[in-house]
Amino acid sequence: NAGVTQTPKFRILKIGQSMTLQCTQDMNHNYMYWYRQDPGMGLKLIYYSVGAGITDKGEVPNGYNVSRSTTEDFPLRLELAAPSQTSVYFCASSTPQSGSGAIQYFGAGTRLSVL
C-alpha cells in the first residue's frame, strides 16, 4: 500500500523556470492538500481539493496553481519560480468525517531550491 507518493524528492530550479510537483494517492481519498514548510515554521496550506474538478486556495496560494482531474492525482504547478518558493512541499490526503477531524496522510515531501 503506497499511500501518498510525491515526485520528485529533490529539485533545483533557476529563477523564472517552471515545474510541476506530482502527487498521487491510492487510498481513494476525496480531500487532497498541498502544504509548504519553511525552516522553523509550521505547514502552510497552499491549495486544497475536496474532489475531482474542485480546488480552492489556502493560506499562501500566490505563485502556484493546481488541478484535480482525477481522485488520485493532485499536481502543483510553479509557473515562474522565485527564491521565496524555496521550501519543502508536502502533499496530503484525507477522507472527511462528519463531526470529527479527518486524519491526513502525508507524502515524504519534495525539497525545492530556487537559485
**Among 21, 90, 93, 112, which residue sits at the site for another protein (rule: CB under 8 A)?**
90
Q: Is 24 in the site for another protein (CB under 8 A)?
A: no
Q: How far is the CB of 15 from another protein (least distance, A)?
A: 26
Cα distances from 40 to residues 55, 73, 88, 91, 93, in angstroms, run 28, 29, 12, 19, 23
The label of the residue with cell 524528492 reads 9
**Among 19, 27, 45, 60, which residue sits at the site for another protein (rule: CB under 8 A)?**
45
Piece in contact with another protein (CB under 8 A), picked from 13-21, 66-74, 75-83, 105-113:
105-113
Residues that bind another protein (CB under 8 A): 4, 31, 33, 35, 40-45, 48, 50, 56, 58, 90, 92, 94, 96-109
